[in-house]
Amino acid sequence: MPREEFDKALKELQISINAVEKTVKKMINGSIDALNNRDIDLSNKIIDMDDIVDKYKDEIEAKAIFLIASEQPVAGDLRKIITIMRVIMELERMADYAEGIAKINIRIGDVDLIKPLIDIPKMAERSIEMLSLCLKGYRDSDVKIAEKVCDMDDEMDALKDRIINELMQISMKNPSTSRQATFLIFIAHNLERIADRSTNIAEDTIFLVTGSSRELK
């Protein structure tokens, strides 16, 4: 395959990554909107969107494997393809967590929430910011941007801990709220895991640029 065609194939994979990014962001935003508005129909739409991400993942991985098998790339070119496969894997897992939030919303059912949502939407907003930043670092091959993602992850951990403490206090005062409190804690956990996946992508960027792996957590 001529170099021009190889670069074109990589660009097409990147375009697919961009499409998945947009879908995952819609899923995260939509899952929290559905939770806040008690919208079961929207939750079901979010669940259906996960199939779109799964299809993209399968297609991207198949094309990436074909490039490796047919072109036998080395050094930087090989790292580019490996990183693409790692990034799509992380995005697919983010979609799974957003789908999980939608499923939890359905399990909570058509009832009022035990408290106004404050920190959970903050976590969702922050997770999307981290996703945008880590993918910018990836596209620009910018290690400094990748390193910033880790600092943002610390804030996510603090928000999750605050949510857990608040919900535990509510359920201790009123045991009838414990079921929903547990569900909301699961949602906070899913948002934290989405942030962790952004950190993984940041680490993938460091691998792409330097050829070595480094944990940022």
Q: What is the pLDDT of residues 31-59, one digit of tens each?
A: 999 999 999 999 999 999 999 999 999 99
**What's the rounded mean pLDDT across residues 8-36?**
97
Q: How many domains does the chain have?
A: 1
In CATH, what number is assigned to the domain containing residue 75?
1.20.58.220
pLDDT at 216 over 70: no
Q: Tell me the CA distances in angstroms from 69 to 6, 165, 211, one per residue in order.
A: 13, 51, 20
Residue 124 falls inside a structural domain: yes
Answer yes or no: is 215 within a domain: no
Q: For residue range 115-130, what is the model confidence (pLDDT) as tens digits? A: 999 999 999 999 999 9
In a domain, 20, yes or no: yes
**Which amino acid, residue 111?**
V
Q: Is residue 172 part of a domain?
A: yes
Residues 6+ apart with CB under 8 A from 10: 67, 80, 81, 84
CA angle 158, 161, 165 (to 5 degrees): 140
Enclosing domain of residue 120:
3-210
Nearest CA to 134 out of 206, 32, 211 is that of: 206
> What secondary structure does DSSP assign to 13-29, as a single string?
HHHHHHHHHHHHHHHHH
Tell me whether residue 217 is in a domain.
no
Closest CA to 117 of 163, 154, 153, 155: 163
Average pLDDT (94-117) is 96
Residue 74 domain-assigned (yes or no): yes
Give the C-alpha separation, 165 to 168, whole Å: 5
Amino acid, res. 132:
S
- Classify residue 216: in a domain, yes or no: no
Determine the pLDDT at residue 150: 82
In a domain, residue 147? The reply is: yes
Residue 200 in this model has a pLDDT that exceeds 80: yes
What mean pLDDT is reported for the chain? 94
DSSP state of 175: G
At 164, is the secondary structure helix, strand, or coil? helix
User: How far is it, in rounded angstroms, from Cα 150 to Cα 55?
Assistant: 29
